[in-house]
Structure 1
Amino acid sequence: MRGIVLAGGTGSRLFPLTKAISKQLMPVYDKPMIYYPLTALAQAGIREVLIITTPTDQHQFRQLLGDGAAWGMRLEYAVQPTPGGIAQAFMIGEDFIDGDSVGLALGDNLFYGFSFEEVAIDPTGGEAAHIFAVQVRDPSAYGVVEFDDAGQVHRIREKPEDPQSSFAVPGIYFFDPSVVEIAHRLRPSERGELEITAVNDHYLRRRALTVTCLPRGAAWFDTGTFTGLLDAGQFVHVVEARQGVKIGCIEETVWRQGWIDDAGLQRLAETQMSSGYGQYLAELLSEQTVRGGRR
């Protein structure tokens, strides 16, 4: 399975903050926003990831993330010339996907309290597509999962004015290789975009879609608005301060996955000591010595 992080778009909901910088490079407390979805894909066992950016922002992403070698990953880059919808990512990334299954994460989404580790074992849940649902207060701002009387998924609608459930589809999706062909066959919506909801609906009509509801204790943030960005930053700060563990720490994730060794983690720590971020990474190695291995 390969991964895509969609980090394009104008970020207009965050103007003027994002007039000169991509929203996916904005800080969510102590990390760039893109660290969080990248970590979610790494937790799912995905080591090869395509970062899709705007033409003007790509050099900044390359400067931040590099080629992924220091993390035991392979990162490639592609351009989304103009916003054309989430499903456009599969067309842009067609050569990168190269007939494999693919996990797509939106670059402005943050997850906590749910590991996508099991997705790495069976990436599509035994079906052709695997998406998630999470209960929210205002589902009309998202794609909404609607259920029938038997509790089965009945349909998925994009930003309905009259949502029939409070379960929204968060920005992480896993598909089999046929998603590329499906994306090519889509027609733009009234918004002029290739909607990810149309892709999900295609699999649903084939009875090939698995929907997993995130547990009640899980948290999901869409950080593409002022409130969402602030809420996510405060949430990360509180959890990290109370628990002493970091959320969305890609270095820790790849180390625990065994993609880099202790020496590799130490090198990453040494370059970031001044901010305290590196001290946290170094402490992971100390904890391992005390506890007798990685947790």
Structure 2
Amino acid sequence: MKGIILAGGSGTRLYPITHAISKQLLPIYDKPMIYYPLSILMLAKIRDVLIISNPEYVDLYKNLFGNGNHLGMNIEYKIQEKPKGLADAFIVGEEFIKDEPVSLILGDNVFYGVGFRLILEEASKLKDGALIFGYYVNNPRDFGVVEFDDKGKVLSLEEKPENPKSHYAIPGLYFYDNTVVEKAKSLKPSKRGELEITDLNKEYLKEGKLKVSLLGRGYAWLDTGTYDGLANATDFVKTIQKRTGLYVSCIEEIAYRNKWIDKEQLIKLGKKYEKTDYGKYILRIADELEEK
């Protein structure tokens, strides 16, 4: 399976701080925002990743990650000339996807939870149909909402409904089979002039091939597209790291635990940041793993 991070858009809800920089490069505590969605794809054991961004920002991501070889990955880049909707990512990424299934994650979504790796690894085995997630929220009117039966079969999908049929919002993480490209091409733009991810999911629902996996109380999903969301995510990550001593979304650690890089490379990456707590953590992990 391949992975796509959609890191485009203008970030107008965060103006003026995003007036001259991509939202997904803003810091969430001690690392760029895009580290968090990238880490989710890595936990799913997805090594081939496409980052889609605006023309003026794509070189910044290239400077940050290069080709991904230092993480044992292949990272590629594509330009989305203007916002055309989430589903447009599959059209932009058609050449990258080729004949494989694909996961899409939004560049401003943060996920956290014990055991999430197992859920992601299972999701990445998808070959037929589509898998979305459901997360209980108090304000479902602000999100896409999924209604489902007790067996996880999706009954309906609604985008920011006035009268939601459930309290389960759909986070920005999706898994699709290879038919997603043709399905995306067949969509008609919405009133906003965009190809909507909800309409794409409805195509799978029509075929009876859309499933939902619920993220329970032990999981956190944070949307960082507002001032409060950004601040809350920073506080959340800081609290977890300070309390446990274990880092959230340390991509170097994940690459090593996935056996994509060896200990020598892990130490090399840690020394690159050795004047920071982040770099010291990587070096500490290398020492602890050696002791074991």
1:269 aligned residue: 270
Alignment of 1:39-118 (within 5 A): 39-113=39-113, 114-118=115-119
1:240 aligned residue: 241
Q: CA deviation at 1:66?
A: 1.1
SS of residue paired to 1:5: strand
State the number of aligned residues.
291
Q: Tell me the distance in 1 between the aligned counterparts of 2:236 and 2:200.
A: 32
Mapped contact 1:49–1:75 kept (Cα < 8 A): yes
Mapped contact 2:39–2:249 kept (Cα < 8 A): yes
* Gapped regions of structure 1 (runs ≥ 5): none
1:242-295: CA deviation from partner (whole Å, max 9, x where unpaired): 0111111111111100000000100000000112211000000111123x2xxx
Mapped contact 1:45–1:117 kept (Cα < 8 A): no
Q: Tell me the distance in 1 between the aligned counterparts of 2:227 and 2:103.
A: 27
Q: Tell me the distance in 2 between the aligned counterparts of 1:124 and 1:74.
A: 19
1:163 aligned residue: 164
**AA paired with 1:140?**
R
1:212-244: CA deviation from partner (whole Å, max 9, x where unpaired): 001211000010111110110000000000011
1:121-150: CA deviation from partner (whole Å, max 9, x where unpaired): 453657411111101121122110123588
Mapped contact 1:5–1:105 kept (Cα < 8 A): yes
SS of residue paired to 1:201: helix
Q: CA deviation at 1:117?
A: 3.8
1:150-187: CA deviation from partner (whole Å, max 9, x where unpaired): 87421011111221211000011010000000000000
Which stretch of the first structure deviates more once superposed, 232-241 or 120-129? 120-129
Mapped contact 1:135–1:167 kept (Cα < 8 A): yes
Q: Tell me the distance in 2 between the aligned counterparts of 1:278 and 1:201.
A: 44
* Runs of 4 or more above 6 Å deviation: none
Q: Does 1:153 align with 2:154?
A: yes
Q: Tell me the distance in 2 between the aligned counterparts of 1:62 and 1:150.
A: 43
2:38 aligned residue: 38
Q: CA deviation at 1:99?
A: 1.1
> How does the TM-score come out when normalised to structure 1?
0.95
**AA paired with 2:137?**
V
Q: Tell me the distance in 2 between the aligned counterparts of 1:77 and 1:207.
A: 33
* Gapped regions of structure 2 (runs ≥ 5): none
1:15-45: CA deviation from partner (whole Å, max 9, x where unpaired): 0010011000000001100000000001001
User: Could you say what the CA RMSD is over the residues aligned between the two structures, in angstroms?
Assistant: 1.5
Mapped contact 1:140–1:161 kept (Cα < 8 A): yes
SS of residue paired to 1:130: strand
Q: Tell me the distance in 2 between the aligned counterparts of 1:36 and 1:145.
A: 24
Which stretch of the first structure deviates more once superposed, 157-166 or 12-21? 157-166
SS of residue paired to 1:134: strand
Instruction: State the percentage of identical aligned residues.
Output: 48
1:250 aligned residue: 251
Q: Tell me the distance in 2 between the aligned counterparts of 1:250 and 1:207.
A: 36
Q: CA deviation at 1:119?
A: 3.9
